[in-house]
Amino acid sequence: MKRHLLEAADLDRADATLVLDTAAQIDAALAGREVKKLPTLRGRTVVNLFFEDSTRTRISFELAAKRLSADVINFSAKGSSVSKGESLKDTALTLEAMGSDAIVVRHQASGAPHRLATWVRGSVVNAGDGTHEHPTQALLDAYTIRHRLGRLEGVRVAVVGDVLHSRVARSNVRLLHTLGAEVTLVAPPTLLPVGVGSWPAEVSYDLDAVLPKADVVMMLRVQAERMNASYFPSAREYSRRYGLDGRRMGALGDDAIVMHPGPMNRGMEIAAEVADSVRSTIVEQVGNGVSVRMAVLYLLLGGNT
């Protein structure tokens, strides 16, 4: 493993499989235990440095670090008026001076974790940067797929929605490709990034054509906060063409699963009856997130630093 986890491409197939296997072992070892804590990272300090709102990712990382007995500092930069570049470097050097062993960073600017990694000696874990990447989300998605379907090789995954702004999609395409799955991106042309042709994925504009062949449907959140241009005519039209409702769910194969990274817009990209159905892995994904992040922290911090 590399020292940092900045993007899904930092993991080759062996590394990614090691993370998933480690997470599965941690899951099994902690299942049914009263004391859900391991002493592995005793004396290590993990800083959660969040420049952007987050519920599940921050709590998930915090819980993962605490279950491994690391000390956790939550640094929420919301409301800070210091200019971006400077504050990030100053903050990083301050945290370094206080002896942090790892920095888990979420930032609204794509590439911020990469910059951070050049300033500090400890490990940097990208917890989402702008519209770039969110590697631990991709790992927990891969883990969830493998857990439900028993394999990743040859699994057909449809990633549906706002691919343009989605760091989840970017990381998933890369990681799932590394692990041997076949990804199809489904979105209106306005919500696909320039250069999507060079990604290791198929592209389709027609959800109904893709669904019957998919083993996994991964719905992306329509990011209202980034919808500052006319990407689609109306929410209603988007929902009719690219939303997953009960009728569309009926077109899926018997064992197909429905995923969503959260937070969901119920009724927009995913209907409530789909989100609450037995095919949905949405709650499971959250639980798996903790085990996968424990695995990442263990593999990055457990050994020689």
Partner 1 sequence: MASPTGPAAGDAPSPSAVLTAADVTRVVDRMAHQLIEKAGDSLADLVLVGIPTRGAPLARRLAARVAAFSGTSVDVGTVDITLYRDDLRLRGVRALEDTVLPEGGIDGRLVVLVDDVLYSGRSVRAALDALRDVGRPRAVQLAVLVDRGHRELPIRADYVGKNLPTRRGQSVKVHLDEVDGVDEVLITEVGS
12 scored as a contact of partner 1 (CB under 8 A): no
Contact stretch for partner 1 (CB under 8 A) within 32-40, 113-121, 137-145, 280-288: 32-40
Q: Are 257 and 149 in contact (CB under 8 A)?
A: yes
Of 125, 147, 151, residue with least CA distance to 137: 125
Binding mask 261-300 for partner 1 (x = CB under 8 A): -------------------------------------xx-
**Minimal distance, residue 142 CB to partner 1, in Å:** 17
**Binding residue per annotation — 148?**
no
**Minimal distance, residue 153 CB to partner 1, in Å:** 20
- Selected catalytic residue, list 84, 114, 226, 266: 84
**Binding residue per annotation — 241?**
no
68 scored as a contact of partner 1 (CB under 8 A): yes
- Selected catalytic residue, list 44, 67, 132, 134: 134
126 scored as a contact of partner 1 (CB under 8 A): no
d(CA 123, CA 116): 10
Q: Are 182 and 154 in contact (CB under 8 A)?
A: yes
Partners of residue 47 on adjacent β-strands: 73, 103
**DSSP for 90-158?**
HHHHHHHHTT-SEEEEEESSTTHHHHHHHH-SSEEEEEEETTTB-HHHHHHHHHHHHHHHS--TT-EEE
Known catalytic residue at 134: yes
* Alpha helices for the chain (secondary structure H): 13-30, 56-67, 84-97, 112-119, 135-149, 167-178, 207-210, 235-242, 246-249, 272-275, 282-301
33 scored as a contact of partner 1 (CB under 8 A): yes
Known catalytic residue at 36: no
Among 2, 9, 12, 37, binds partner 1 (CB under 8 A): 37
**Binding residue per annotation — 189?**
no
304 scored as a contact of partner 1 (CB under 8 A): yes
Q: Are 207 and 258 in contact (CB under 8 A)?
A: no
**Minimal distance, residue 119 CB to partner 1, in Å:** 23
Residues 6+ apart with CB under 8 A from 235: 222, 268
Q: How many residues does the chain have?
A: 305
The rounded Cα 117 to chain-centroid distance in angstroms is 19
Known catalytic residue at 57: yes
40 scored as a contact of partner 1 (CB under 8 A): yes
**Minimal distance, residue 36 CB to partner 1, in Å:** 9
Q: Which residues are catalytic?
A: 56-57, 84, 106, 134
Pick out the residues of the known binding site: 56-57, 84, 106, 134, 137, 167, 221, 262-263
Pick out the residues of the known binding site for L-aspartate: 84, 167, 221
